């Protein structure tokens, strides 16, 4: 991630270099200009990372602002060893008259190669040398000498140790603060710079572009700021940095002013009609779900497993219900729906009984009635309706591959009786 850093000399406790880099490694690089090296020979220094930012253009703008703020030594305008104004260009570099005269001798028509072109043969030779990345023209002996020379090469700070006094100064300089003490003028300039940036980049930090609105980011923030990860964890009583202190009148006024209008008026989102309508709909939906859940609990059948299957169940198998279904009523439907909602398939077996007073419908009429009611479930393969011979018992052997379950109806459903339903139908002339 691109960074903006500064070097602070400890003898005067002031910045003497501002730089940028694609990572923090660049901040500790010793390959600098002669002004920087002359300062480092005189005093110790510390490195401070001022900004981390994904946008390199933002870092470059800030580099220009800081160099302009502190001023340059070569221009007699400040304390920095920087030789340019920073940012994207190399502008602002001061070139001596001697260097200018030297460069002018090799510019334009004065250049030795002015108006000439390389022959095709020379171009070919240059191309081959450029492609030769392994430097085949250098012997192994020369390479070894170069390697030894590079390894033995020492930095001008190699072997230099910090004194205990200097270490103590560095430690004190870092404790309790992010950087060196800033003057009121510098604080005002930095504050104005931040406000200007916010005004021009506010849209990047609001709405969908704000990463803090993403659920994954919010989850990470919750983890990193809760429990022992929180910087204030366990800091109660005298351990709290504000223990025994009070806000002054000015601070209290600032806090009061900053809170005004945030809970009342147009800025309060809950006062907007569209937001209020959404909140109302959410409340209605919540209470409907609660009511539905209570009703489901009231009408839910409890079950007792008398025989447990000796084999695991499969998705293709059905829960078999045998009955006369004369007629199919609400109690039966609640039971079947409960089993379907549990993810099981239902097979409704109709006993083929002779029509009489208790069995006013033929097995074919019952079949058609149930099939019509569950036609959508039948198309989806969730329900199957069959007619079986009238039975007087259900007999099982040892180790059967299915459960034998007894469903006990709740109080609201237990009162529903097929006999009462038939009587009601006779009164209404439906039988």
Q: Is residue 76 part of a domain?
A: yes
pLDDT in tens, 368-391: 999 999 998 899 889 999 999 988
Per-residue pLDDT band for 307 (boundaries 50, 70, 90) equals: confident
Residue 40 sits in the same domain as residue 8: yes
The confidence score (pLDDT) of residue 299 equals: 63
Tokens representing residue 306 in the block: 């008398």
Kindly provide the b/e burial profile for residues 222-233, where b requires at least 16 CB atoms within 10 angstroms of the residue's own CB.
eeeeeeeeeeee
pLDDT in tens, 188-206: 888 888 877 776 665 555 5
Per-residue pLDDT band for 35 (boundaries 50, 70, 90) equals: very high
Q: Is residue 210 part of a domain?
A: no
Residue 190 sits in the same domain as residue 309: no
Residue 66 sits in the same domain as residue 184: yes
d(CA 5, CA 21): 8
Q: Report the relative pairing of strands 3-9 and 45-52 from DSSP bridges.
A: antiparallel
Considering 201, 221, 255, which residue would you say is the last residue of a domain? Answer: 201
d(CA 342, CA 348): 17
Averaged pLDDT, 261-268: 52
Residue 291 sits in the same domain as residue 195: no
At a CB cut-off of 8 Å and minimum separation 6, what does 366 contact?
Answer: 324, 325, 326, 327, 328, 350
Averaged pLDDT, 34-50: 90
3-state secondary structure of 419: helix
Residue 85 sits in the same domain as residue 43: yes
Tokens representing residue 100 in the block: 């200018």
The confidence score (pLDDT) of residue 98 equals: 80
pLDDT in tens, 400-427: 788 888 888 877 666 777 778 888 888 8
Residue 183 sits in the same domain as residue 288: no
Give the distance from CA 37 to its chain's centroid: 44
Does position 265 have pLDDT exceeding 50, yes or no?
no
Kindly provide the b/e burial profile for residues 47-62, where b requires at least 16 CB atoms within 10 angstroms of the residue's own CB.
ebebeeeeeeeebbbb
Considering 176, 201, 226, which residue would you say is the last residue of a domain? Answer: 201
Residue 33 sits in the same domain as residue 69: yes
The confidence score (pLDDT) of residue 36 equals: 92
d(CA 2, CA 62): 12
Instruction: Say which residue the tokens 């447990």 belong to.
Output: 308
Q: Is residue 212 part of a domain?
A: no
Percentage of the chain exceeding pLDDT 90 = 13
Residue 339 sits in the same domain as residue 406: yes
Residue 313 sits in the same domain as residue 416: yes
The confidence score (pLDDT) of residue 176 equals: 60
Per-residue pLDDT band for 38 (boundaries 50, 70, 90) equals: very high
Mean pLDDT is lowest, of 7-11, 32-36, 52-56, 104-108, for 104-108
User: Of all helices (H) and strands (E), which one includes residue 338?
Assistant: helix 330-341
Residue 330 sits in the same domain as residue 423: yes
Mean pLDDT is lowest, of 7-16, 25-34, 141-150, 400-409, for 141-150
pLDDT in tens, 342-351: 888 999 999 9
CA dist 140 to 129, 134, 151, Å?
Answer: 18, 12, 17
d(CA 343, CA 337): 10
The confidence score (pLDDT) of residue 287 equals: 83
Q: Is residue 264 part of a domain?
A: no
CB half-sphere exposure, 261, CA atoms < 13 A: 4
Does position 179 have pLDDT exceeding 70, yes or no?
no
Instruction: Say which residue the tokens 């981390």 belong to.
Output: 52
Q: Is residue 102 part of a domain?
A: no
pLDDT in tens, 205-263: 555 555 666 677 777 777 777 777 777 777 777 777 778 788 888 888 888 887 776 55
Q: Is residue 130 part of a domain?
A: no
User: How many CB atoms within 10 Å of residue 32?
Assistant: 16
Q: Is residue 372 part of a domain?
A: yes
Q: For 230-314, where are the alpha helices, taking DSSP H only?
A: 249-259, 273-298
Q: Is residue 398 part of a domain?
A: yes
Residue 359 sits in the same domain as residue 423: yes
> Can you give the residue range of the structural domain that contains 79?
1-97+164-201
Considering 155, 173, 201, which residue would you say is the last residue of a domain? Answer: 201
Does position 85 have pLDDT exceeding 50, yes or no?
yes
d(CA 253, CA 263): 17
Percentage of the chain exceeding pLDDT 70 = 83
Residue 54 sits in the same domain as residue 187: yes
How many domains are there within the chain?
3
Does position 399 have pLDDT exceeding 80, yes or no?
no
User: How many CB atoms within 10 Å of residue 26?
Assistant: 14
CA dist 252 to 246, 257, 258, 259, Å?
Answer: 10, 9, 10, 11
Does position 326 have pLDDT exceeding 80, yes or no?
yes
Tokens representing residue 171 in the block: 């430690």
Tokens representing residue 111 in the block: 């250049």
The crossing angle, in degrees rounded to 10, of helices 184-201 and 56-70 is 150
Dihedral angle sign, alpha carbons of residues 422, 424, 427, 430? negative
Per-residue pLDDT band for 80 (boundaries 50, 70, 90) equals: very high
The confidence score (pLDDT) of residue 223 equals: 77
The confidence score (pLDDT) of residue 207 equals: 52
Does position 296 have pLDDT exceeding 70, yes or no?
no
pLDDT in tens, 99-124: 777 777 777 777 777 778 888 888 88
Question: Model's pTM, two decimal places?
Answer: 0.34
Mean pLDDT of the chain: 80
d(CA 346, CA 339): 7
């Amino acid at each position: 991630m691109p960074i903006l850093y500064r070097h602070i000399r400890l003898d005067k406790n002031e910045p003497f270099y501002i730089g940028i880099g694609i990572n923090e490694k660049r901040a500790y690089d010793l390959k600098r200009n002669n002004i920087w090296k002359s300062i480092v020979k005189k005093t110790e220094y510390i490195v401070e990372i001022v900004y981390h930012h994904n946008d390199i253009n933002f870092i470059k703008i800030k580099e220009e602002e800081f160099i302009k703020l502190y001023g340059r030594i070569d221009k007699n305008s400040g304390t920095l060893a920087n030789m340019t104004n920073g940012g994207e260009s190399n502008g602002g570099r001061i070139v001596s008259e001697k260097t200018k005269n030297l460069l002018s001798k090799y510019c334009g028509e004065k250049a030795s190669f002015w108006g000439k072109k390389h022959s095709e043969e020379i171009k070919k030779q240059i191309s081959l040398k450029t492609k030769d990345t392994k430097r085949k023209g250098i012997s192994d002996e020369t390479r070894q000498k170069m390697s030894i020379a590079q390894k033995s090469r020492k930095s001008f700070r190699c072997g230099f140790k910090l004194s205990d006094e200097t270490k103590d100064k560095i430690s004190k300089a870092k404790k309790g603060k992010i950087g060196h003490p800033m003057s009121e003028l510098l604080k005002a300039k930095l504050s104005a710079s931040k406000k200007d940036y916010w005004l021009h980049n506010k849209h990047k930090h609001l709405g969908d572009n704000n990463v803090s609105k993403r659920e994954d980011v919010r989850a990470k923030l919750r983890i990193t700021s809760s429990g022992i990860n929180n910087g204030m964890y366990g800091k109660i009583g005298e351990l709290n940095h504000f223990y025994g202190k009070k806000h002054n009148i000015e601070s209290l006024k600032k806090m009061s002013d900053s809170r005004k209008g945030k809970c009342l008026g147009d800025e309060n989102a809950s006062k907007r009609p569209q937001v209020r309508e959404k909140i109302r709909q959410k409340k209605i939906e919540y209470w409907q779900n609660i009511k539905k859940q209570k009703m489901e609990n009231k009408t839910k059948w409890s079950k007792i497993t008398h025989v447990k299957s000796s084999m695991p169940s499969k998705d293709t198998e059905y829960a078999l219900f045998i009955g006369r279904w004369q007629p199919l009523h609400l109690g039966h439907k609640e039971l079947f729906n409960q089993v379907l909602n549990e993810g099981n398939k239902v097979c409704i077996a109709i006993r083929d009984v002779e029509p009489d007073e208790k069995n006013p419908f033929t097995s074919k009429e019952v079949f058609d009635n149930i099939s019509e009611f569950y036609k959508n479930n039948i198309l989806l393969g969730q329900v199957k309706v069959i007619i079986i011979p009238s039975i007087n018992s259900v007999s099982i052997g040892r180790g059967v591959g299915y459960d034998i379950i007894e469903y006990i109806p709740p109080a609201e459903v237990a009162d529903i009786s097929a006999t009462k339903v038939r009587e009601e139908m006779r009164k209404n002339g439906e039988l």
